[in-house]
Structure 1
Amino acid sequence: MHLYERLPIFVFEIEACENLTYITMAIRFNLDRTGRHLSLKDWQALPYAAREALAGYIPGDDDFPARLDQLVSDHLGRSPDTAGDAPDMAWEDTHALPPGLLAQCALADLAPPSVADWAGLTPFRRYVLTKLSRRTDKQNHCFVPAMLEFRLAQATL
């Protein structure tokens, strides 16, 4: 069975995250939600089994922080870093589209979703689009695939 069939990984993440070389969006959500930071270097220093264990937590799982602390302590000999910058919480607002999302839509030449469609997304999906929209000067290569996967854009032939 493929990893993406048993872990919370979006289709647009499969290529980058199938072997857990990169941090999945579910892990990023859990890190941001708990005020923790794990660098890509530290993530890749964890044994594969530890990365797989962390990747198995669904977004918002309350047991994630304790397991993360334990695995980082066991394998890296320290506690996880606390996040320096506060994460962008614009995804929590269901009454307005985040500015970064509007910028990414413009860069991709996509019509932005309606506020109603934005509000209809799960909090985790709103988080993902906000995270993918952090940069407003350069198009994120995962943004359009995520918009397509979340049915907020249509493929053109």
Structure 2
Amino acid sequence: MKKTDRHCRIFKFEAEFSDNLRCIPMAVRRKLDLCGRKLRLQHWLELGDEQKMELLNWGDSELELHKLADRLKESCNEINRAIQEEWQQIDRVPGLIEEACLASKQPVPNLRQWQQLDELERFALLKLCSPGHSHSNSKSRGNLPLALGEFLENKIT
């Protein structure tokens, strides 16, 4: 599996939304952050299934992300590109992850487990924990244990 293949998937914890793609998958959200574009849920819902799948399957190389930013410049707001975000770092487990795990009575991933996660998995965990984010509501916090189980089940402790 190529690196980009791992970053074009829908997680099991997203399954209830994946049949009709009524929510923006984490894989798409990560690519949007990387290319500096903000796609509102309302705009996502207006896209056809083919367009949604195209965004999901879009590559995440630097060149592909540049093309994606250019393609979306008319329909999406520009935001700062994700550079050196916590989900891009593997030298420590972010405090936000620790706090959210403790608050939801989940085991906190250790540094080795964090380092074994791929960038999309780290992105998803942080988005599920982020305050003020659309995925930080109680429903999404309920997805945190599901995501942790999905991501850490085969990781060495």
Q: Same fold (TM over 0.5)?
A: yes
For the pair 1:135 / 2:100, whether they are aligned, the reply is: no
**In 2, Cα distance between the equivalents of 1:25 and 1:134?**
13
Deviations 1:110-156 (A, max 9, x none): 12011111111112211111111102986512111000001269xxx
User: Which residue is 2:4 aligned to?
Assistant: none
Alignment equivalent of 1:81, drawn from 66, 77, 83:
77
Which deviates more from structure 2 when the two are superposed, residues 30-39 or residues 44-53?
44-53
Consecutive unaligned residues of structure 2, counting only runs of 5 or more, are 1-7
**In 1, Cα distance between the equivalents of 2:25 and 2:145?**
17
Greater relative CO (CA pairs within 8 A, separation 6+): 2
| Helix, strand or coil at the partner of 1:109 | coil
Shift of 1:17: 2.4
Amino acid at match of 2:118: T
User: Which residue is 1:17 aligned to?
Assistant: 18
Q: Normalising by structure 1, what TM-score?
A: 0.76
Consecutive unaligned residues of structure 1, counting only runs of 5 or more, are 1-6
Percent of pairs identical after alignment? Answer: 25
Give the conservation status (yes or no) of the 8 Å contact 2:24–2:41. Answer: yes
Which deviates more from structure 2 when the two are superposed, residues 23-32 or residues 84-93?
84-93
**1:66 and 1:47, CA in 2 relative to 1: closer, same or farther beyond 3 A?**
same
Shift of 1:60: 5.0
Give the conservation status (yes or no) of the 8 Å contact 1:100–1:135. Answer: no
**In 2, Cα distance between the equivalents of 1:116 and 1:150?**
13
**In 2, Cα distance between the equivalents of 1:104 and 1:138?**
12
User: Which residue is 1:151 aligned to?
Assistant: 152
Shift of 1:100: 1.2
Give the conservation status (yes or no) of the 8 Å contact 2:86–2:94. Answer: yes
User: Which residue is 1:3 aligned to?
Assistant: none
Deviations 1:77-119 (A, max 9, x none): x342112696881112212111210111012101201111111
For the pair 1:31 / 2:42, whether they are aligned, the reply is: no
**In 1, Cα distance between the equivalents of 2:58 and 2:81?**
23
User: Which residue is 1:111 aligned to?
Assistant: 107
Q: CA RMSD in A?
A: 2.8
**In 2, Cα distance between the equivalents of 1:16 and 1:87?**
28
Give the conservation status (yes or no) of the 8 Å contact 2:38–2:78. Answer: yes
Which deviates more from structure 2 when the two are superposed, residues 132-141 or residues 113-122?
132-141
Amino acid at match of 1:19: N
User: Which protein shows a greater Rg?
Assistant: 1
Q: How does 1:1-16 map to 2 (within 5 A)?
A: 8-16=9-17
Amino acid at match of 1:146: A
Give the conservation status (yes or no) of the 8 Å contact 1:59–1:124. Answer: no
